[in-house]
Amino acid sequence: MKMWSGRFSQGPDAEFEQWQRSFPFDRVLLPYEVAASKAHAAALAKAGVLNDDELATTLFALEQIGREALPAVDDPAIEDVHHYVETRLVELVGEVGWKLHTGRSRNEQIATDLRLYVRDQIDAVIRLLVAFAGEFVKRAETAGINAMPAYTHLQRAEPVLVAHWLLAYVEMFVRDVDRLSDCRKRLNVSPLGSGAVAGTILPLDRATIAQELDFAAPTANSMDATSDRDFAIEFVQALSVVALHLSRWAEEFILFSTTEFGFVKLPEEFSTGSSAMPQKKNPDALELIRGKSGKVFANATALFIGVKGLPLAYNKDLQETQQPVFAAAQQVFSMLLVATGFMAKVEFNYDRMQQAASCGFMNAQAAAAYLVHQGVPFRRAHELIGKAVRLCVKQGCELEQLSKGDYARCGIDAGEQFFNALTLSEVLAIHNVPGGTAALRVREALQTAKEKLSLYSGVAHACT
């Protein structure tokens, strides 16, 4: 039976009728529609609309609807997931099933289902992010004191510990977790009882309904509650940042896996070959992560554009906000699964990294810093070491290979301690501030990262 046929003297255009349906995609909301319907049924009983028997029958049937498989073949008569549950309920329990829609509207239902869906997805994505970041932490632990070049402008800049580099990614993913938790806090309110726009027509106990669905409280304004999609926008924006981080990570690993860099050995499990060139091992997993990230950003944009022109309150345009949310969640979920598998298997070529960290004048700043400690003003020290680098370029050598005489010609009094300051271990040690790459600082950072992650692991919804 149609949900709204009474007022109409004729049925809708067949093409339009099919075109406006959302059941082909909102069927993923079934568990949430069932949970919300159960909470509503209980409130109806409390308000005297359902007697004890009717409530028991309704709850029993709703449980069954939640358990049973959705129809394999799409039923074109079903408009949306709300219609499906009502129709199925009436099939199971008969006339009493028609009572469930008393005092509620699909406008509040979809707002509720979508919040419940996003809340679950946030918990799932947080779990995956924690696992993914955990792989970086494991690698940072085993990387020990191995070093590698850090780049600015993609030119060799200063050496860092490999662990320091890996922990940079952990910071990004921890922020992603924070962002998602924050979004979860704001979305965790219950629209049920908002009715179509002005609030339900029955004295429903909104606080108890909210509690039953693990919401922190009922929403404060029925017009806002039935038309707000901020939570969906925030969620997909937060996912976009996750995708962005994954894309940057993928890009860097692609680069580092090239023969030119040779820092990263691609795991065969996550690479493919070429049908033409027998020697090829291609970083497809990383490339697809980089490529798919764009689709997540597109979903965020679709949501923004979909909502920006809507006057209060519910408008059918809002139906179009569902698919970008589902698509972004599924996309990021699968990207994280692949990324985690990749990280667990990827190998680092420490020799190559260490070798690259030991050349390319990456000790120049440390050399200047040494002169500063001798009382030379930094600008002057910079100039002097710059001259020494120029000489090295001419002679095809590194700073530590210049002779005392060479340095004297550059105006530098280079003693044993000066040369000691140029060694890789000293250059690393000089960055001895919180957040710097000195071994002790990296050990501290590793510990902090582990603590942050253990705070989140297993307690994805500690933030309610």
Longest dimension (CA), the chain: 102
Among 159-167, 175-183, 314-322, 333-341, the segment contacting ligand ARG (CB under 6 A)? 314-322
Contact 463, 185 (CB under 8 A): yes
Q: Is 319 in the site for ligand ARG (CB under 6 A)?
A: yes
- Whether the bond into 313 is cis, omega within 30 of 0: yes
**Structural Rg of the chain based on CA atoms:** 30
Closest by CA to 193, choosing from 208, 214, 183, is 208
- Least Å distance, CB 318 to ligand ARG, is 5
Structure token pair of residue 231? 């939570």
Supply the minimum distance, in Å, between the C-beta of residue 348 and ligand ARG: 48
What is the Cβ-side half-sphere exposure of residue 184, based on CA atoms within 13 angstroms? 23
The yes-or-no answer on residue 181 being catalytic is no
Task: Say whether residue 325 binds ligand ARG (CB under 6 A).
Answer: no
Task: Please give the sequence-ordered ranges of beta strands (E in DSSP) within 288-359, or none if there are none.
Answer: 347-348
Measured distance CA(42)–CA(212) in Å, rounded: 10
Q: Mark whether 153 is an active-site residue.
A: yes
Closest distance to ligand ARG from the beta carbon of 198 (Å): 13
167: burial class by Cβ within 10 Å (0-12, 13-18, 19+)?
Answer: buried
If one asks whether residue 314 binds ligand ARG (CB under 6 A), the answer comes out as: yes
Q: How many residues bind ligand ARG (CB under 6 A)?
A: 10
Q: Does 110 bind ligand ARG (CB under 6 A)?
A: yes
Closest distance of CB 22 from ligand ARG, Å: 4
C-alpha to C-alpha distance for 356 and 440, rounded to whole angstroms: 22
Report the residue from 80, 228, 234, 400 that binds ligand ARG according to the rule CB under 6 A: 80
Which residue of the set 274, 403, 425, 454 is catalytic?
A: 274
Q: Which stretch binds ligand ARG (CB under 6 A): 34-42, 157-165, 315-323, 329-337?
A: 315-323
Closest-CA residue to 353 (of 421, 268, 256): 256
Residue 112 in the binding site for ligand ARG (CB under 6 A): no
Q: Is 113 in the site for ligand ARG (CB under 6 A)?
A: no
222 binds ligand ARG (CB under 6 A): no
Catalytic residues: 153, 274
Binding site for ligand ARG (CB under 6 A): 22, 26, 80, 106-107, 110, 314, 316, 318-319
